[in-house]
Amino acid sequence: MKRTIKLPAGASVLNLAPEVDKKGAHVGARRKLAAQGDTITEEFTMTLPTGTVSADKYRAFLDDVQAVDAGFLAAIRVRVKP
């Protein structure tokens, strides 16, 4: 998914969220961000093949999924002048 955010006049990006690039045995995900002028562009990609995760690999799978979730939810800080 690609999302483009157009900031209002006078707004500026204070901090972009960190990029995500996770490659696990059962999940792959990427979040790429760029800010140029008054526009923020984000690209989200996730690969989650169908199938079953065995019990002995479930903890690693869960850790990967939680890392992706946290990365996808990380905030971008923007300052807007009143």
Query: Quick check: helix, strand or coil at residue 5?
Result: strand
Task: Indicate the pTM of the whole model.
Answer: 0.81
Give Cα 23 distance to the centre of its chain: 13
CA–CA separation, 39 vs 82, rounded Å?
A: 19
CA–CA separation, 68 vs 23, rounded Å?
A: 10
Residue ranges per structural domain of the chain: 2-79
Instruction: List the chain pLDDT tens, one digit each, 82 residues.
Output: 999 999 999 999 999 999 999 998 899 999 999 999 999 999 999 999 999 999 999 999 999 999 999 999 999 999 998 7
Q: Which residues neighbour 43 within 8 Å (Cβ) at sequence distance 6 or greater?
A: 1, 2, 3, 30, 31, 32, 33
